[in-house]
Structure 1
């Protein structure tokens, strides 16, 4: 397996991207092709122990910056890291391409180099979103800010196929984002899309979902337009950051308070009465005092598990479903851990024949109906 990776994509490139790629190559045993300016890439690579790892460098002289206009850059920067990586997938020299760079640039480059799967009107950017059931697939999250009902129907088909193939959900529950659970609620777009989803016998459509239902886990695949989807994930990231910061602050404050009120005074008392109090009783008092801080310690493993579930770095990259080739987009703020996760997602997509499954499913479910 060969995965091409954009060394220059993301806010912390190239140091963090190279570090994450080295971690992924070591842990997953896959060949990673580092696409970027050769001198910069090799200089960063020299900072790591790479003995026994399969890491190759392919030169690309240009970068699609976050400030670039996506379509203009995709056409004008023919030797960008995105163009070179996508072209390697097109030629069969790589099984997938991953970037943490400009999402619009990745979409425009993907369309320009790879094209769409026959029958697909618009590719959709999808991601895992934490929920009460573990996670759900949310799409689109930014590739298409304005959509038509048929686009949302296609998103639902691709999302359902992806959930079946990669996450082995036999019959994924599909829902559409609305401002009310009841049928008939929502924008004109939602109202016009619902009949299409209901009429598709291949979809397990469960109806409308509000924002609270997404995190409750009532659906496995949730479809919406890219504007709404992007707002949902960015708002979710902000809430998670607020919650984790607040919990951490309160735990630290409680721990310090418990120590100040319990352990230190008891230790002082023990020092004062050490000559007259039986040793076993002294140990008991000290033990009870220390126990005042114990509940916080007991909470830590559970809190860490929750933090992992809510941490975007755990969820890897978002595949652009509908392109005729595997192209995945990681978070722009990715650290090395998130880069490793993005490459893991690409590995899973290749192993599960995701592209072939979506091609076949679209051929049967969409092209065959036209």
Structure 2
């Protein structure tokens, strides 16, 4: 892919004003979301309002825009491609359309003017508008390719699926096995991907959430494993996870988007480390299931951290799958107090030569584990992190 370039005049302006925009980026995106939702309340159905309330979404958008501008003005900045790929997959899972980008651009540039005031001269506004449209065009093109590969478009993303089975997996964790309600085809997917699930809440809001697929492909169904989010320190409970736990049962239907996600198992036969914590075990379960069915001689190391044995979801299933492999071992840590990330002994985890690591869990956990793997000699490009929510790992 040829990287986009700013025009000469815009390049100099963006480079000069980037420090100011970076310092005010989260404030800008906060103003942006408020203005856009006020003018287009229908877009509320596409955004996780929990992340809006905590500020996680505006922080993630601010970080992405700044990272893109940084890459446009500094060839030594981190590549933006992995971030763009992650955003594109998320957008496709929600049915984002190309014609929605002008709406976003108009309100985002309006927010820049509101926050930075007189500093936003016509030349500055034009330069940052160019940044936005370069980013938008890159995402629109990437999303078009993903829609084409899936054989769908934004208008046909959402389908009704029936809950064929509901199963308790652990404390506050339930699996839902889904089949098409229209008896249609179950789409292909790659182990490690997720689906979006949209539910109509009691207050009338429709809210989407992404859940990893917790079984591999080829089973004639899709399965998600959902941990109920209980609010801590005065925070509210998770609206969608609570609704699924309390109100969705066998033979109910759910509105489901297509499989998406860029952090997927590579079918290259290389040794694999699945390093997870909490409900981050779900994409690893799909990867292990796929390996057990298609490449049972592959070298696999599983390392999982959990608060308590009664919260360890899919434990028996993972043990069964591991037992069917010819070269696999499993390590588990349970919390005994203190920092949740500190209970995993990264130095105790076997690292086969040429291992490729897949991480999933809370952001502090993944950051700590990634640093430990790099310290032990695993190249950064061989460490892949699945991020739940709008954050960025690395």
TM-score (norm 1): 0.31
Q: Which structure has the bigger radius of gyration? A: 1
Q: Which has the higher contact order (CA 8 A, sep 6+)?
A: 1
TM-score (norm 2): 0.29
